[in-house]
Amino acid sequence: MKRKVGVLGPEGTFSEKAARRLMLDSDICYFTDFDEVIAAVERSDLDIGVVPLENSLEGSVGQTLDALLSRDVQIVGEMNLEVRHCLLGRGSPEDVKVILSHPQALAQCRGYLKRRFSGAEQRTTGSTSHAARLAQEFPEMAAIADAEAGERYGLAIIDRNVQDSDENVTRFAVVGRSTPKPTGFDKTSLAIYLERAEAGALWEVLGEFAVRKINLTKIESRPSKMGLGDYYFFIDLEGHVTDPPVEEALARIRKRAAVTKVLGSYPRTASP
């Protein structure tokens, strides 16, 4: 039986592109946002979901991090996708009065939009392909989306490669329900909450990794939503949660931190 894979819809999103690159033989199901995808994995309505985690120009995707933290799922894989945006529409550039896209995509093209379309109104949509579907209906609207979404919705390419840098890479998480076995080339993602952030608390947590020569590939803070200045720390490290040094470090950190949640331990991609 084909695996049921959930992504942001409608057809033609970058999330779908990432999912198809990873799993050729699958049934793709479309959802309105990343939390919906992750919730469907949690309910076992899906085998897996593919959601964006972070982008090289715009940073983390907050909704994905929040859903991974609050829901009972595991990251089971990751993949990096080069994101090339096009300006798509039915008319010529002079006809464009409104530019539509997902907030992440508009932000990745901020410089271009300011330079070339400072007079146009920008409106956010649920996804890049949703923008393309809307632009199909209104000639004064143009969408920032993938060239393939343009083909699917019958739009012309007004401009190609409109992202602000060619180094525009989005890292996607593959989300499932159980932890993959160690491969010897793994990554572990954690969320840590230090209730009483005393002086040196974060330093002590990081020290547990440093003394065991565990390499961290990412650390960032995200609001706990319990008050201004109160944060969760999201940490990625090289290694599997069953590797003895990682296990030891986590056992020590659990004594110190109010929350230590393993978001997943999964094979890491060779590219950074």
Binding residues for ligand PRE, per CB under 6 A?
Answer: 8, 13-15, 52, 55, 61, 83, 102, 104-105, 127-129, 170
Q: Which is nearer to ligand PRE, 55 or 74 (CB)?
A: 55
d(CA 85, CA 6): 22
The residue from 64, 125, 128, 170 that is catalytic is 170
Our CA dihedral for 132, 138, 139, 145, rounded to 10 degrees, sits at -10
Is residue 172 flagged as an active site residue? yes
As measured in angstroms, the least distance from the Cβ of 130 to ligand PRE is 7
Q: Within a 10 A sphere around the Cβ of 85, how many other Cβ atoms?
A: 25
Is residue 170 flagged as an active site residue? yes
All residues at 6 or more sequence positions from 118 whose CB lies less than 8 Å from its CB, including other chains: none
As measured in angstroms, the least distance from the Cβ of 104 to ligand PRE is 4
As measured in angstroms, the least distance from the Cβ of 52 to ligand PRE is 4
As measured in angstroms, the least distance from the Cβ of 61 to ligand PRE is 5
Question: Which residue, chain included where needed, has tokens 């200045």?
Answer: 229
Q: Which is nearer to ligand PRE, 147 or 259 (CB)?
A: 147
Q: Which is nearer to ligand PRE, 103 or 256 (CB)?
A: 103
C-alpha to C-alpha distances, 77 to 23, 38, 117, 268, nearest whole angstrom: 12, 14, 38, 7
d(CA 12, CA 147): 9
- Among candidates 59, 107, 76, 71, which has minimal Cα distance to 218? 59
Q: What are phi and psi of 22, to 5 degrees?
A: -80, -40
d(CA 245, CA 158): 53
Q: Which is nearer to ligand PRE, 52 or 150 (CB)?
A: 52
Q: Which is nearer to ligand PRE, 136 or 260 (CB)?
A: 136
The residue from 14, 31, 34, 172 that is catalytic is 172
As measured in angstroms, the least distance from the Cβ of 133 to ligand PRE is 12
Active site residues: 170, 172
